[in-house]
Amino acid sequence: MGPADSGAAVQFEFELIRRSLSRTVSRLVVLGALRRLQMAGYFEQHDPLFFRPQLSVAFPRTGLRIEGLVSQGKISAVLSTAERSKLSCDKKYVVDKYVLNKGTAKTYAGIFQRQAERGSIPWILGPASLIPVVGTAITVATSTIDGLMRLADSGSVSASQLVVLMADGGAFIKTWSLEKHAQHGELLVTMVFYNITVGTENRIHGIYSDKIALVVRE
């Protein structure tokens, strides 16, 4: 091998090393960005009746994968591209439903009875024919329980009044939707409703809501 060939071989090896380093740096940059995103996660909730401990009980199939610092509220929820594609900002996608029977209705009546002094929750009327079904979307013009309370056409019930509405056939409905946040980007909004027919009225009670930073990943 002559000097020219030797120089070409060295140059080729140098180019391979440069490309390898470039890929490594790129991966490190991406990983660093992901870590920063997780560290800068976001979480807020509106839980007037202390319902959050019941989420995993009522909806065990639709728990979220959470990343970040839970103790500091700097967390993100991870959804797949397919899961994310079903969601929008203007409608709430029904992802889970927990229908009460006589036994579980009694259990939740007891739970809400113990929260009787915590405050009130809002309710709105839906069309008599509209019973939320998993896989469909419903339109509610707010993304928090506090916001639902402020709607002009909403009423309110106390926890003690909600107790008598816990009945066989009533159902807790879990929905997901999206919200854009100027600082934290896209948020996943979870809202839980209690749906019950009272006489001829189809009532939808706002029980719980939260917002969490969203990461989309396969």
pLDDT of residue 187: 93
Distances (CA, A) of 81 to 35, 65, 96, 102: 20, 14, 19, 39
Would residue 88 be called left, alpha or beta, if left means φ above 0 and alpha means ψ between -120 and 50 degrees?
Answer: beta
Nearest to 186 by CA among 70, 83, 98: 83
Q: Where are the domains of the chain?
A: 1-39, 42-216
Q: How many Cβ atoms sit within 10 Å of the Cβ of residue 106?
A: 14
- The residues pairing with 172 across neighbouring beta strands, listed in sequence order, are 98, 194
pLDDT of residue 38: 44
Strand 185-198 with 43-46, pairing: unpaired
Two structure tokens written together for 177 = 């939707």
Pick out the chain residues at pLDDT < 50.
37-38, 128-129, 151-152
The answer to whether the CB of 61 falls within 8 A of the CB of 95 is: no
Q: How many residues are listed for the chain in this entry?
A: 218
**Does the model's pTM come out above 0.85?**
no
The answer to whether the CB of 84 falls within 8 A of the CB of 64 is: no
* DSSP summary character for residue 5: H
Q: What is the pLDDT of residues 25-35, one digit of tens each?
A: 566 655 555 55
Nearest to 91 by CA among 208, 178, 180: 178
Which residue bears the tokens 């106390």?
158
